[in-house]
Structure 1
Amino acid sequence: MAEKSLSSMEVSPPEVRVGANLLRVKMVLLGSSGVGKSSLALRFSKDQFKASSPTVGCAYLTQVVCLNNAMIRFEIWDTAGQEKYHSVTPLYYRGAHAALVVYDISKRETFVRAQLWLKELEKQYIPGETVVGLVGNKADLSEDRQVSMQDGLRLAESKGLEFMETSAKSGEQVRDLLMTIAHRVKQGTREDKGLIEWRETEGVGVHPGEGPHPHSACCRVGP
């Protein structure tokens, strides 16, 4: 997974328009350092797991999801969780169609921090136009759980968010989460504010050659 420093990245919100069959969706992962955002992004994109070092600035991957009536090309922005990058993180999630706030179920402080991320995110997105999900990652560490599923569900319901517990390590619920977000984004597309059709020649906030190869695998799903 390629990681880019802040100085080498260009971040710009995607344009939107109607009538596309291959739809471009910007999705950002937010949360404290060490909660597994990079591992989730890699599992989303390549269905792989490997230990990773903290993200520097932001990393970028892609995945194409095939729905019955559309194909969605997710552009996954994995943001750094370290405090020193906090002030610039809004540059990455501004204009996103979907945002996942991630915490570690075995570390209570990351759940508390997730609530602060949600408050920051609420300042940037328009309700109804951005699909927001709360994700309790590292479900494989259930024996060390410090955040109950009920706590996560209660927070998500209070804010009208999607909620799911996942394990990037085992892959548990990761594909289900991506498909849920894909359907929610597609369902939320209005006639006057659609999603831009993806073209291989278009840049997406990175210089040519800096991001992953444009042809990603396609995950197929039913209704």
Structure 2
Amino acid sequence: MSKQFQFKLVLLGESAVGKSSLVLRFVKDQFDDYRESTIGAAFLTQTVTLDDGTSVKFEIWDTAGQERYKAPMYYRNANCAVVVYDITQTASLEKAKSWIRELQRQADPSIVIALCGNKADLAARRQVTQEEAQKYAEEEGLMWGETSAKTGEGVADIFTAIAKKLPLTAPPSARAGGARAGPAKTGVDLNKQANTQGGQNEPCNC
């Protein structure tokens, strides 16, 4: 019988970096050019099936980027977090760094954090280089990858990589928060990892 796990995942990042679009692409494989800003937080679920048949269900909290909605209640007891920035906006990476600092201070120390550079389809307008983001991720022991919610490139990779990193040897949990992951010791470049893992995942959009 295949193993089944459930984990709480929170998305953080400045408003308009594409958090909701990223989740919509991951959960429903859809993209909407005219999505309204999230108010408070939206809740969705999606299941990832790994190569060995293990099933990982994510309970996803998509938070609003506006400061007034910033509240620990959304990332408290989260097993993993995807902190999103817009590769065409340098300021959004600085904001992502502040979210990461807050997670490191306030969230469970075992939380798995992935730094995600979204809007890779707009590479011609890039302000944040891959080298800069990757260097920061390595320094902080984060997973890192670039995605395009619009084209779908890299989206499945980042969530699948998180699912693989979570403690799948732990007893199945009846609810999110019942399993804990060990803290990352080094950064993980998902753009490179996607090319070596094989399977049905497409490489991250570089």
TM range (shorter): 0.7 to 0.9
Out of 128, 131, 134, which is 1:153 matched to?
Answer: 134
The 2-side partners of 1:83 and 1:45 are apart by 26
SS in 2 for 1:196: coil
TM-score between the two structures when normalised by the length of structure 1: 0.74
Cα distance per residue 1:35-71 (max 9 Å; x no partner): 0000011111111111311101000111111121421
2:114 alignment counterpart: 133
Aligned residues: 176
2:179 alignment counterpart: none
Structure 2 counterparts to residues 1-223 of structure 1, below 5 A: 21-51=3-33, 52-67=35-50, 68-86=52-70, 88=71, 90-127=72-109, 129-187=110-168, 189=169, 191=170, 194-197=171-174
Cα distance per residue 1:170-204 (max 9 Å; x no partner): 001101111101100145x5x5xx45136xxxxxx
**5+ long unaligned stretches in structure 1:** 1-19, 199-220
Greater relative contact order (CA < 8 Å, ≥ 6 in sequence): 1
SS in 2 for 1:123: helix
> Which residue identity lines up with residue 29 of structure 1 in the other structure?
L
Identity across matched positions, percent: 47
Query: Shift of residue 153 of structure 1?
Result: 0.2
**1:21–1:197: 8 Å Cα contact kept in structure 2?**
no
Query: Which protein is bigger by CA-based radius of gyration?
Result: 1
The 2-side partners of 1:69 and 1:106 are apart by 37
TM-score between the two structures when normalised by the length of structure 2: 0.80
**1:25–1:195: 8 Å Cα contact kept in structure 2?**
no
> Which residue identity lines up with residue 133 of structure 1 in the other structure?
A
Moved over 3 A (4+): none
The 2-side partners of 1:114 and 1:81 are apart by 10
The 1-side partners of 2:69 and 2:44 are apart by 19
Cα distance per residue 1:10-41 (max 9 Å; x no partner): xxxxxxxxxx9321111000000000000011
Aligned Cα RMSD in Å?
2.0
The 2-side partners of 1:120 and 1:195 are apart by 29
